Amino acid sequence: MDVKIRNARFDDLNAMAALLGELFSIEEDFAVDEQRQRRGLELIVSDCYNSHCIKVAEVDGQVVGMCTIQTLISTAEGGMVGLLEDMVVTSSFRGQGIGHLLIKHIEAWAKEHKVTRLQLLADRTNFSALDFYGAMGWDPTRLICVRRTWKH
């Protein structure tokens, strides 16, 4: 199997929205809302170089996985850190090393952009994801995520 990792393009939006639908259907804190997800994807793809990027995994012309990164300024690090989000490989392609390739490309992007730390959120009960990140050298923290949302 030949897997190509590349920056996302606008013509990938349908495939990426479908991947987010698959991801958000297993996450308790997020809801599948294709219109909202497409809007977010469009914002990232429109400037996929400076402070954020989406990497996609393509097999035989089909997008089968994706991962997003967005940068933040950390006072703890005294510089840029990256928030990794939306790491997903479609179920029929899991366990074949595609997620590993996506993470490695995101890490390379982060190093190129002088990011000193990567962080992500994962469901506490998504043990396969937690095991995956642990195997990739990611360490759990004692921090928890709290949030507040509102509609505009």
The CATH code of the domain that includes 68 is 3.40.630.30
In a domain, 122, yes or no: yes
In a domain, 36, yes or no: yes
Number of domains, the chain? 1
Residue 78 is predicted with a pLDDT of 94
Tokens of 139: 């360490």
How big is the CA angle at 33 (ends 55 and 134), to the nearest 5 degrees? 45
Residue 120 is predicted with a pLDDT of 93
Q: What is the pTM assigned to this prediction?
A: 0.90
Tokens of 99: 């997620």
In a domain, 58, yes or no: yes
In a domain, 20, yes or no: yes
CB burial string 36-62: b at 16+ within 10 A, e below? ebeebbeebbeebeeebbbbbbbbeee
In a domain, 152, yes or no: no
For 70-121, the pLDDT digits (tens) are 999 999 999 999 999 999 999 999 999 999 999 999 999 999 999 999 999 8
> Structural domain of residue 62, as residue ranges?
3-135
